[in-house]
Structure 1
Amino acid sequence: MNESLNKPPLKVAVFLSAMEVPAWIYKLLERINDSTYASVEVIVLNGGGDTKTCNEPVHGLLHKGRQSMVTRIQQLQEGFSNRYKSYPDYNEKHDLKTLLNTVSIEVFEPLHGHNEIYFRDDDIKQLEQYDVDVLLNLDENDLRGDVTEAFPYGVWHYIFTDKHTNYQAKPGARETLADWPETSSALLYAGKSLNDDKVITQSYSCPDNTWIHKTNNLNYWKSLSFMPRALERCHRLGKAAFYDELCRNTPHPLFLAKEPPRGFGKLEMLSLLMKKAFQKVQLRINDRLFYEQWFLLFNLNPATSNVLDSYQYILPPKDRFWADPFVIYRDNRYYIFFEELLFAEDRGFLSVMTIDQQGRCSEPEVILKEDYHLSYPFVFEHEGEFFMIPESAQNKTIDLYRCTGFPNQWVHEMTLMKNVHAVDATLFFKDNKWWMFTNIKENEGASSHEELFLFYSESLMSENWVAHPANPIISDVKKARPAGKIIEKNGKLYRPSQNCSRYYGYGLNFNEITVINEHSYQEHTVTSIEPNWDKKVIATHTFNTDHDITIIDGIIRRSHYR
């Protein structure tokens, strides 16, 4: 029995600048309000009108004179990007008065430092009367000082990008305009000063290559889950275990800035905008001359070949792509199961082809089509039968198919999970349990590339897979999303994963699994593959092997006119 069900919910205070909040904050508080592990007891509004300024740093004053021009340039880019906003819009305003209409409201006028706020002693005493367990700071400024030690579970706050480095730049601005391969977000346990912060959750995302709004939309929608997850974990573990875990997450000093704090200079901003404009023109020209196509590559060798330019290419016709290859060795030949997609239809289905011992390929044969997109045909053998779990995120299911006539006859056996946006489900049997790795998009507007979840069951044929208590076990666009079957080699386990940090499917990682049980999961990256062996190949995101064959996929840039 889950002991946390018998515990009273944690009492939460929320610090806000106003009752009208962005959509992502509204959804965050809605989730907490609907939960059994926490309840919002009081909202503290930042009155702020007559607050004093506490020793504003010199670098803030030096930048102040040029800030208005920089801000106007940023607003110009942001305003233009409104035409290309992603939806749902993380920044759309919602009023909390209806959602939290029974919650008490306090208005404090704290002391302000530079990007920091200090509650007065009387305010802290007033807040302590509510007997709250934790204060969630959703204001733009960090809470510091004695208030951080006033509650059993402390004060929590978000950081998006490295706001301590780029405090004058809008979150997501530098990453988008300067072509950073990743951006970050984190939930921190606030210390009395910046140096005392501890990491509760840290995550990495891929910025959009043009629009700041799209970069932030993905990042904020994902990050709203951090606070509810941490509250549930506190409620389940208790204070001592949660704090021990917190210290393990931050074993070393936390350095947030790699360069002195600075915003955008006028010339730098103009230079970056001109560079972006040139990139868009160049992209338009390339789109006229070339198109990108997923294709398959294989190598026949008793040992897994790491010489990628020795792989043989299997190029599809120009009207389609082939991706996500899985392989089964049977009857002295290799059966390659893969996603096939016609560009004109833009809906994936599953096909199979064979490769013989001389490397000769058969024509593909369609094996499974549905009314929704299918990909990633995870094929495996169990008790003398073949099964398949294709990706069916568009249908919000994880489905199991049974093979009734190998390799091309498949019937739907059962649905393992419903109402879930899950991609690339990958199963592995160990210690008398089935383990399922899958990336899940918890919130509409977030990305499916960034968070890996783990489930387990004693039976393959189960609708009740148990969520691992450490979920998500990975929150990092560089290594979360599965890229093929778990590999067993020399007594070790390796999980292939996608690196989507530059763009979707950019490269591959191989992660050694060192701990996997009902309580813990640990892995570390041991090697990686980037698409640098052929100048025409710009991505690779699936790796599988069986017997003497290794098969991967890639994106190749092909001419429209040849």
Structure 2
Amino acid sequence: MNKTKPLRVGVLIARGRALENWELMILDRIIAAPWLELAAVFAHSHAFGDSKVSRLLSWGARLEASTLARQPAYSPKHFSSRHHFIDVYDAGNDKTCAADNITAASLRRLKLDLIIRMIPTSIGDETIAALPFGEWAFNLSDRRSVDADWFGYAEVLAGASTADLVLYAKCGGSADRLEIARAAFNIKPSAARLSAFVRERSVTLLMRELARLADNRRFNPSAFVDEVGAHAPSLGNLLRYGRIVAGSISRKAFRSISARLRADSAIWTLYTGRGHIGDFDPSNAVEIPPADNSIKADPFLFQHQGKCYLFYEAYSRGDRKAHIAVGCFDGDALTRVGVALERPYHLSYPFVFRDGDEIFMIPETHHAKRLEVWRCCEFPLKWELHATAFEGQSPADSVLIRHGGKWWLFTNLSDFHAYEDHCSELYLFEVDGPALKNIKPHKRNPVVIGSTHARGAGRILEHEGRLLRPSQNNTHGIYGYGLNIMEIERLTTDDYRERRIRTITPGFKAGLYGCHHFDATDGRYVLDARLTN
């Protein structure tokens, strides 16, 4: 980061209105970041203009927020409304300026680099021209009035697979919006829940882009592609929306009751075949079906002494936690060997790998609030705890690779206050190997944001000179709906870039609701698929 000259940031909020959690989080993190300086907080007395919404939308939005999107109040560690509101003094007019009439001269005097707008009302094109990097805002900030927020309604009404969060800028004297960053998130059962969730994710997206700008001072936003939902829903759409949400709640309640009665749990099956990550055809795969007392998911293959073993998450129907089991292939048939690892907490995603002559496993242990590395003492059933990291955090689906002479750790951390989620943020760290004694965060963390690509879905593989990362495609309101194959195009200490080259959806076999994990070794591949919604 540029430590000698932090970005001077202003924030535009609504006067006389309590700050929401996501707004407080942004203010708090700006103050905490050494590469940023909160130079001004402007309070606009007419923040929502003259826009009005129907009483039905206003009443329904409040009811939905209080019942389906409740969250604990965020307590800032650094920001204080007493100390961080700054009146802008305009020497030319000899008066104190409200945000309603901020002038270009006052912004220049404050030496602001940019303003983050959290309200629908802009400071105006001519004033924005005084800001080197313009006025930044989210598309969700535009979908609100003084008494209602309608972000998410259009997506739920349309049955969309995802909802887009867009961070955009207005620069110079142009009214055009320019896209800084975009991320897609899985649909929730209601607009209020979706809006609250995406607002929390917006904090991470904004801070990443501010860090990028502070580091290199390069700003190249692209053309903004407008999206549906800019206008408040009509009365007819609200009535239709009510029926959709009522149906979603009923289905969710039924599934919850079934789970509590221990009569239901997610049922996964495995498929195996011959092929590589770049060319496998899942429609030709052979099923390894589950039994009520042996449900398998998150499969990892491992070659040892001429045999192909399979490590996997194992549980019985109705179980609340899983353990790690191992089997051995004879052709396409899998013979169970035994339990490789069991703990008092849930285990899954048993990433097994070699480092020299030693064998290690990194299972998912986010319920234990840490990452664990286990070393094999006697293959394949005896393991000892080798290292831990990220104590008190919630890492999921972690993998280690060696690339470019360095060890890299990929993991899905959940940066959250109210909504823990492992599907939306991929973090990257340079480490010293399985000991995890030295952990250096990547400069662009989280390197991927959004539920369509971020979550890991298996071992990162090298194939025909390409580095390929399986990732989950969490869309259509379903966890583990699809499987992406991402090509990592750039992996350095300063940069990370990947692109999607393929997506596998559950249509490759009849009766499937999802597929979310892949691994391959020595010409064999394996993936899992979801049998229940």
Q: TM-score, normalised by structure 2?
A: 0.86
Q: Does 1:418 align with 2:391?
A: yes
Choose from 270, 273, 276 the match for 2:242.
273
Percent sequence identity is 22
Of the candidates 219, 227, 232, which is equivalent to residue 257 of structure 1? 227
Give secondary structure in 2 for the equivalent of 1:105: coil
Pick one of 4, 10, 14 that aligns with 2:11.
14
Q: Distance in 1 between matches of 2:432 and 2:152?
A: 43
Counterpart in the other structure of 1:106: 87
- Cα 1:389–1:186, aligned 2, differ >3 Å: closer, same or farther? same
Matches for 1:200-279 after TM superposition, within 5 Å:
200-208=180-188, 210-237=189-216, 239=217, 242-243=218-219, 247=220, 249-250=221-222, 253-257=223-227, 262-278=231-247
The alpha carbon displacement at 1:368 in A equals 1.4
Inter-partner Cα distance in structure 2 for 1:430 and 1:277: 50
Counterpart pick for 1:537 among 504, 509, 512 = 512
Residue among 17, 24, 27 paired with 1:26? 24
Contact 2:156 2:241 (8 Å CA) reproduced: no
Which amino acid in the other structure matches residue 10 of structure 2? A
> How big is each residue's C-alpha offset from its partner over 1:340-374, in whole Å with a ceiling of 9 and x where there is no partner?
234544123211112212x2322352221223322
- Give 1:119 shift: 5.6
Q: Assess, with a 3 A threshold, how the Cα gap between structure 1 residues 421 and 347 changes in structure 2: closer, same or farther.
A: same
Structure 1 residue 176, shift from structure 2 partner: 2.6
* Cα drift, residue 392 of structure 1: 1.6
Aligned counterpart, 2:330: 356
CA distance in 2, matches of 1:95, 1:549: 51
Letter in 2 for 1:25: E
SS at match of 1:214: helix
Whether the 8 Å CA contact 1:326–1:337 is kept in 2: the answer is yes
Indicate the residue corresponding to 1:158 in structure 2.
Answer: 138
Structure 2 counterparts to residues 366-385 of structure 1, below 5 A: 366-385=339-358
RMSD: 3.4
Q: Secondary structure at the match of 1:545?
A: strand
Does structure 2 retain, via aligned residues, the 8 Å contact 1:483–1:543?
A: yes
Closer/same/farther in 2, CA of residues 263 and 554 from structure 1, 3 Å limit: same
Q: Once the 2 structures are TM-superposed, how far is the Cα of residue 279 of structure 1 from its aligned partner?
A: 5.4
Q: Does 1:396 align with 2:372?
A: no
Q: Answer yes or no: is the 8 Å Cα contact 1:456–1:465 preserved in 2.
A: yes
Q: What's the secondary structure of 2:192's corresponding residue?
A: helix
Distance in 1 between residues matched to 2:319 and 2:368, nearest whole Å: 17
179-188 or 132-141: bigger deviation: 132-141
Secondary structure in 1 matching 2:131: coil
- In structure 1, the residue matched to 2:92 is none
Residues 397, 421 of structure 1: 8 Å contact kept: yes
- State the partner residue of 1:135: 115
Task: List runs of 5+ in structure 1 lacking aligned partners.
Answer: 109-116
Report the Cα distance in structure 2 between the residues aligned to 1:428 and 1:297, rounded to whole angstroms: 25
Q: Which residue does 1:38 correspond to in 2?
A: 36
Give the conservation status (yes or no) of the 8 Å contact 1:176–1:215: no
Distance 1:309-1:41 versus aligned 2 partners, 3 A rule: closer
Question: Partner residue of 1:111?
Answer: none
For residue 172 of structure 1, report the CA deviation from its aligned partner: 1.4
Query: Structure 1 pair 152/288, CA: closer, same or farther in 2 (3 Å)?
Result: closer
* CA-CA distance at 1:413 after TM superposition: 0.7
In structure 2, relative to structure 1, the CA distance for the partners of 1:491 and 1:43 (3 Å cut) is closer
Decide which of 60, 63, 68 is 1:79's aligned counterpart: 63
The answer on 1:318 being equivalent to 2:292 is yes
Question: CA 1:328–1:342 in structure 2 vs 1: closer, same or farther (change >3 Å)?
Answer: same
1:8 Cα deviation (Å)?
4.5
AA matched with 2:203 = L
CA distance, structure 1, for counterparts of residue 87 and residue 70 of structure 2: 35
Give 1:481 shift.
Answer: 0.9
Structure 2 match to 1:493: 467
Deviation of the 1:30 alpha carbon: 1.4
Question: Helix, strand or coil for the counterpart of 2:193?
Answer: helix
| Aligned 1:64-75 pairs, distance under 5 A | 67-68=53-54, 71-73=55-57, 75=59
- Divergent runs of 4+, >4 A: 92-98, 161-164, 192-195, 278-292, 302-305, 342-345
Which residue does the alignment assign to 1:47? 45
Question: What SS does the aligned partner of 2:303 have?
Answer: strand
- Larger deviation, residues 40-49 vs 473-482: 40-49
Partners of 1:513 and 1:429 in 2: CA distance = 13
Output the amino acid matched with 1:257: E
Q: 1:443 to 1:262 in 2, by over 3 A?
A: closer
Are 1:543 and 1:553, in contact at CA under 8 Å, matched by a contact in 2? yes
The letter of the residue matching 2:233 is F
Deviations 1:396-451 (A, max 9, x none): 32221111111111111112433432211122111211122222211233422012
Q: CA deviation at 1:545?
A: 1.0
Distance in 2 between residues matched to 1:470 and 1:196, nearest whole Å: 27
Question: Could you tell me whether the CA contact under 8 Å between 1:20 and 1:94 is conserved in 2?
Answer: no
Q: Which amino acid aligns with 1:400?
A: V
Equivalent residue runs for 1:194-205 within 5 Å? 196-205=176-185
Cα distance in 2 for partners of 1:11, 1:373 equals: 45
> Which residue matches 1:511?
486
TM-score, normalised to structure 1's length? Answer: 0.82
- The amino acid that maps onto 1:39 is E
Amino acid at match of 1:212: A
| CA pair 139-274 structure 1, distance change in 2 beyond 3 A | closer
The alpha-carbon deviation at position 542 of structure 1 amounts to 0.4
Matches of 2:157 and 2:227, distance apart in 1: 19
Deviations 1:175-233 (A, max 9, x none): 2343211111122222357753333332111120x222221122111111233333333
- In the alignment, structure 1 residue 175 sits paired with structure 2 residue 155: yes
Amino acid in structure 2 at the alignment position of 1:99: S
Q: Secondary structure at the match of 2:334?
A: coil
Q: Does 1:185 align with 2:165?
A: yes
